[in-house]
Amino acid sequence: MQGRFHREITLEALGDRFSPAALREVIQANLRLDGLFGQIGHDEYHFDQNAFSQSREFVERNRARVGPALEAGDAHTARRCLGRLTHTVQDFYAHSNYVSLWLRQFEGHELPGPEAIDALDATLLDSPELRSGRLYLPLEVLSFIPGIRNWVLPHLPPDSHAWMNLDGPEREPLFSYARTAAKQRTRFEFDHTIQDLPAELVTRVCT
């Protein structure tokens, strides 16, 4: 998902839970996973190449660090962990076929609006049909360049990241469903992470 949408989704989902300064730290950590070193050899950061189990483990590792970091008085590490895990779960909806699988139930009928999507449909989260885009290098890299993207796409298979991603509005109408699902999941993951933490630790990470 494009950086500006990671930023917007995190702000919309968590803006009422964090102080502006604390939320900036979460968002910075979120966006950092799209940096050069986050893109090379880290499929688990983005749910790429069907790395579902690895990505889920990455999310859980970061979640598990939040409480201990806060207990040690290190709110900065806790916020960075939250930023990383929110980035990964947001990319799940943009980089997988979850949205397409969810919409399949409405074949032959008028589609509901994006706000109707259920980001936590257990039958889909564990579906054997779940797939995410593969990276076919080096052509895949060229697909990110607007001027030659249309030339590259016909040379990439349907399961490539370039064809499957819902990273921005150019992939409408599916992008709106992915964006809405990512926002739902971001709020869910935050609530799930803090649910067993003492109130004073929650205050510490949010302010």
User: Residue type for 16, please?
Assistant: D
- Mean pLDDT, rounded, for 140-166: 89
| Per-residue pLDDT, 103 | 98
pLDDT tens profile 40-81: 889 999 999 999 999 999 999 999 999 999 999 999 999 999
User: Residue type for 50, please?
Assistant: N
| Per-residue pLDDT, 147 | 83
Residue 23 CA to residue 72 CA, distance in Å, equals 20
Closest CA to 13 of 180, 197, 194, 125: 180
The region of weakest confidence among 5-9, 46-50, 86-90, 147-151 is 147-151
Q: Where are the domains of the chain?
A: 3-133+172-206
Residue with tokens 């040379």: 155
pLDDT tens profile 179-199: 999 999 999 999 999 999 999
pLDDT tens profile 74-122: 999 999 999 999 999 999 999 999 999 999 999 999 999 999 999 999 9
pLDDT > 90: percent of the chain: 88
Residues 6 or more apart whose Cβ sits within 8 Å of residue 146: none
Residue 166 CA to residue 46 CA, distance in Å, equals 12
- Mean pLDDT, rounded, for 165-174: 95
pTM, two decimal places:
0.95
User: Residue type for 166, please?
Assistant: L
- Mean pLDDT, rounded, for 154-182: 95
pLDDT tens profile 15-27: 999 999 999 999 9
Find the radius of gyration of the CA atoms of the chain.
17
39 pLDDT more than 90: no
| Per-residue pLDDT, 26 | 98
29 pLDDT more than 90: yes
